[in-house]
Amino acid sequence: MRVQNWLLCLALLAAAPVAEAANRYDCAADDAVLRLALDVEFSADTGGKLTHFRGGYVLKDKLQPSALRALTLDSGMLTQRWNDDDRLLMRLYQQAQEKPPFGTLDMTIAVAAGAEGAPWDGTYALTVATAPDTASKPAVQLQKRGKIACSPR
């Protein structure tokens, strides 16, 4: 009887689904303010280490510094990141130095899981600030919030 119980346990373990090696997400936003696409991956082991991050965005506001209107995003811009079973949080920061003005981009992305198999919905909060160009051209600040969706794969 004991051998049969062990064999049954082994058969159940063998039939169990294999755990995924990573948590990967494709995220996108496209509205009146910006177009954003991200490809993000965290390892599935303890700590959820970031293993892949790339993307790009285009600001549609032509008043912003050209160096911050279109960027290729990489992991060096991530100042904070968090991933668990039902949340994905990221914060990106970038500085740009033109002749003048100096500018900064600060973006926070917060996404939560939805129904099984459905895209994850969330928001982004974007702040772009520039220093005054000249006495006649004051500093410009853009603060916007919008919707973003991520699809786990």
Is 108 within the bounds of a domain?
Answer: yes
Neighbouring residues of 9: CB distance < 8 A, sequence distance ≥ 6: none
Is 13 within the bounds of a domain?
Answer: no
Is 7 within the bounds of a domain?
Answer: no
Whether 139 has a pLDDT exceeding 90, the answer reads no
Give CA–CA dist 114/120, Å, rounded. Answer: 5
Domain that holds residue 36: 19-152
Domain count across the chain: 1
Give CA–CA dist 25/13, Å, rounded. Answer: 28
Is 14 within the bounds of a domain?
Answer: no
pLDDT tens readout for residues 94-113: 988 666 668 899 999 999 99
Is 120 within the bounds of a domain?
Answer: yes
Tokens of 53: 């991050």
Give the pLDDT of residue 33: 92
Give the pLDDT of residue 105: 92
Handedness of CA 74, 67, 58, 64 (dihedral sign): positive
Our measurement of the distance from residue 143's CA atom to the centroid of its chain's CA atoms, rounded to an integer in Å, reads 18
pLDDT tens readout for residues 28-43: 999 999 999 999 998 8
3-state secondary structure of 146: strand
Give the pLDDT of residue 21: 44
Is 56 within the bounds of a domain?
Answer: yes
3-state secondary structure of 33: coil
Is 9 within the bounds of a domain?
Answer: no
Is 111 within the bounds of a domain?
Answer: yes
